Amino acid sequence: MNAPLASLRRPELDIAVERRGPASRLVGRYVTYPFHLTRLFALDAARPEVATLYMQSSSGGFYAGEDLTVQVRVGAGAALHLTTQASTLVHGDRGRTARMRVLVEVAAGGFLAYTPDPQILFPGAASDTRLDIALEGDAVAFLADGLLVHDPKNAGGMPLAYRSRVDVRRDGQLVASDRQVVDGPDLARPDGPLHGHRVAASALWLTAETDAHGFEDALDRPGCLAGVSSLPNGAGLGLRLLARDGAAHERAMRAAFAHVFAARFGVPPAVRRK
């Protein structure tokens, strides 16, 4: 694979998955604090080429001032579902930002679903996440992110800011860029961008063959508002979702993942237990 997204320093989490016969295998793994990684699971008996990995935190969350990097490489014909065991707590501290960069490469014929649970923004938290993905040929990816506003003391506390940026390149060309910037006080307002919901999420389905109406219908779940639109340059579909709580968000995003999985592999996915 090409390596246009090389980090200036070694990532805290660096993994590579390649196809070996009927299955996808973990052929490269480097993990250091604050990450922990489970073993590779083969959960989908009907599609043994799909491997599943769970990322975990050994530190109790994402802390102000941290600057972390994750690198993921999926080889030709391999398939990986990378998710988290639970939501990530984002702690606040005097306005310092917690930053994370995710660098992804998916070779021709490869598939990646990157579906971390929403970040839980505590009062004073400032989160800045950037995801750069490089796709080759007919590679397919499903990328999700989200936030949940949480005030544990119910004292009117609010996060400082949430920033998210995703840049998508296919065969070296920038085909889509998704950017979100929201100030914390706006997130906490009843008439703000969340419209009274506690969870906001986004997803990008990066594939040439998509059905916007079918995808949107799959997201018709109680407690959720969802909209799907086409991405520029035929890059795929973009999703925006508001959910009244974490449970409603989980049901909708599980349905979104199932829709993408079935479109790619022809069968529904096995349950991902958390």
Q: Is the pLDDT of residue 194 over 70?
A: yes
CA 5 to chain centre: 18
Of 167, 129, 132, 133, nearest in space to 147 by CA = 129
Asked if residue 225 is part of any domain, the answer here is no
Asked if residue 233 is part of any domain, the answer here is no
Question: 129 and 158 in contact (C-beta within 8 Å)?
Answer: no
Question: 96 and 125 in contact (C-beta within 8 Å)?
Answer: no
Q: How many CB atoms lie within 10 A of CB 260?
A: 26
- Please tell me whether the overall predicted TM-score, pTM, comes out greater than 0.95 for this model: no
The predicted pLDDT at position 232 comes to 95
The predicted pLDDT at position 94 comes to 66
- Averaged pLDDT for residues 183-204: 86
Sign of CA dihedral 141, 116, 204, 103: negative
Q: Is the pLDDT of residue 53 over 90?
A: yes
Asked if residue 52 is part of any domain, the answer here is yes
Read off the pLDDT band of 10 (50, 70, 90): confident
The predicted pLDDT at position 4 comes to 44
Rounded to the nearest integer, the mean pLDDT of the chain is 91
Cα separations (Å) of 147 from 31, 126, 133, 169, 252? 25, 11, 21, 25, 14
Asked if residue 3 is part of any domain, the answer here is no
pLDDT tens per residue across span 77-109: 999 999 999 999 999 876 789 999 999 999 999
Q: Is the pLDDT of residue 260 over 90?
A: yes
Asked if residue 270 is part of any domain, the answer here is no
The predicted pLDDT at position 8 comes to 59
- Averaged pLDDT for residues 5-17: 80
The predicted pLDDT at position 212 comes to 78
pLDDT tens per residue across span 234-245: 999 999 999 999
Q: Is the pLDDT of residue 262 over 90?
A: yes
Task: Please tell me what DSSP assigns to residue 41.
Answer: B
pLDDT tens per residue across span 131-158: 999 999 999 999 999 999 888 777 678 8
- Averaged pLDDT for residues 62-91: 95
Could you tell me which residues are beta bridge partners of residue 257?
A: none
Asked if residue 96 is part of any domain, the answer here is yes
Q: Is the pLDDT of residue 193 over 90?
A: no
User: Which residue segment(s) compose the domain that 90 sits in?
Assistant: 13-190
Asked if residue 127 is part of any domain, the answer here is yes
Q: Is the pLDDT of residue 18 over 50?
A: yes
**How many domains does the chain fold into?**
1
- Averaged pLDDT for residues 249-265: 95
The predicted pLDDT at position 60 comes to 85
- Averaged pLDDT for residues 116-141: 96
The predicted pLDDT at position 184 comes to 83
Asked if residue 231 is part of any domain, the answer here is no
The predicted pLDDT at position 2 comes to 43
